[in-house]
Amino acid sequence: MSKSSPRPQDHFDAIVIGSGPGGEGAAMGLSKAGKRVAVIERESTVGGGCTHWGTIPSKALRHTVSRIIEFNQSPIYTQNSKSIHSTFSQILSHAESVIGKQTRMRQGFYDRNQCTLLHGNAEFVDAHTLTVHHSDGSADTYTADHFVIATGSRPYQPADVDFSHPRIYDSDSILSLAHDPRHVMIYGAGVIGSEYASIFRGLGVKVDLINTRDRLLSFLDNEISDALSYHFGSSGVMIRNDETYERIEGTDDGVIVHLESGKKMKADCLLYANGRAGNTDKLNLSSVGLTPNSRGQLDVDSESYATEVGHIYAVGDVIGYPSLASAAYDQGRVVAEAICQGNANVRLIEHIPTGIYTIPEISSVGKTEQELTAEKVPYEVGRSLFKHLARAQIAGMDVGSLKILFHRDTREILGIHCFGERASEIIHIGQAIFEQKGEGNTIDYFVNTTFNYPTMAEAYRVAALNGLNRLF
């Protein structure tokens, strides 16, 4: 195919590759600053992996399952009627509905801000030129002064696992689960594996969770990790820690996992959820002098997210940690400011809250107990158990707790950790105080303010009083 010189209308101030949170944040910031922007999206609709395969569908599934559990465990509803039973395929419709709403809303952002939306696969030709290959076989060439790579990530697929087998899934293809398994094996007990373990177990499916590490979600505070392990165990999830597969064998009626420890495990299907890889392999980055690492990720400057090639930036999962939709959007905003002003004054906050949508949820911000102990920081702990809160009792939320870590001399808040329903919402109350500077960030705030009663927010007052009572 012959390449002709791009027309003036095919030149942009900036081209953003990918329409997930990172790409959207960059495109919106650039367009609102008056820049001429094009967004390239390989799929037929916008939103990226976050909207279509990751954050949105898994959280929509989790919400449905959580409501089913709540109904079935409430004596109010089950006194004179049978409990609800749903299958994974049945509850997918709610996720599809939410995905549709999100897609239409985000499409509106690009339309209103006059971003040119191009559908196809992007491939760099040189440092200021790329080609977009369309699904009908045609291709167009575009140039730009700046580029933002926001191509996201995909589930890691080791070469020795046959993902074409009808019973072997990754976290994308599991959303096309065609049958209703009675027994699911999940390989990888990170955030994604743990969330899907909650979903399947909540539907009454037998779950085996194979963890390649010595404890669940080891980056969490140990007490929270232990609480999740206990809750998983009490709900019937079988956890196998410190295990690695030797061979994964697909059969006519299921999957057999041969572990290096000599054990064998069998289930109706396998969800492989152990790692992700950056979507950079088809960008022809060598033509612009960029080399991704072994996981397909790009190194960037921590202040502006510029790559080694100064006018090319990268944000979101494609640069690795923290691999959160919320952080990716903010990274995109930083890049927009860097392009428009030459430098970025805005920064991501130092302590980004984690939100893990297991059943119950987990959320935390700041330091863990083990980190503070290793740093020899004299901290104290304040705890509040949900089962003692009036609002939790009304809602039947017996499981859960809030923990505040604070300096025993200055009373500065050092970390907040929450386990239980609505944890990802509850954490932001504490985060708002945690982010204050100087005397504004002390545990005394939670004692001296007045909370609505009854609320889950009241857990902060209870935990603060509990912690202050430990001082002497």
Residue 191 annotated as part of some ligand binding site: yes
Residue in the block written with tokens 């177990």: 201
Amino acid in position 201:
R
For 147, the token pair is 């580029």
* Residue closest to 188 by CA, chosen among 171, 165, 174: 171
* Residue closest to 193 by CA, chosen among 151, 259, 159, 243: 243
Bridge partners of residue 306, in order along the sequence: 313
Residue 310 annotated as part of some ligand binding site: no
Residue 47 annotated as part of some ligand binding site: yes
Residue 275 annotated as part of some ligand binding site: yes
Give the separation between CA 66 and CA 51, rounded to whole angstroms: 20
Residue 192 annotated as part of some ligand binding site: yes
Residue 371 annotated as part of some ligand binding site: no
Give the separation between CA 453 and CA 394, rounded to whole angstroms: 12
Residue 44 annotated as part of some ligand binding site: yes
Residue 320 annotated as part of some ligand binding site: no
Residue in the block written with tokens 């976050």: 50
Residue 190 annotated as part of some ligand binding site: yes
Residue 289 annotated as part of some ligand binding site: no
Residue 35 annotated as part of some ligand binding site: no
- List, edge to edge, every strand of the sheet that includes 255-259: 245-250, 255-259, 264-267
Residue 269 annotated as part of some ligand binding site: no
Residue 396 annotated as part of some ligand binding site: no
* Residue closest to 7 by CA, chosen among 129, 137, 134: 129
Query: 50: which residues sit within 8 A by CB, 6+ positions away?
Result: 20, 21, 56, 152, 325, 328
For 372, the token pair is 């503070």
Residue 29 annotated as part of some ligand binding site: no
Residue 152 annotated as part of some ligand binding site: yes
Residue 51 annotated as part of some ligand binding site: no
For 197, the token pair is 């373990």
Residue 45 annotated as part of some ligand binding site: yes
Residue 430 annotated as part of some ligand binding site: no
Residue 188 annotated as part of some ligand binding site: yes
Residue count (the chain): 472
CB count, 10 Å around CB of 2?
Answer: 3
Residue 123 annotated as part of some ligand binding site: no
User: From the annotation, which residues make up the binding site?
Assistant: 41-50, 59, 151-153, 188-195, 275, 317
User: From the annotation, which residues make up the binding site for NAD(+)?
Assistant: 188-195, 275
User: From the annotation, which residues make up the binding site for FAD?
Assistant: 41-50, 59, 151-153, 317
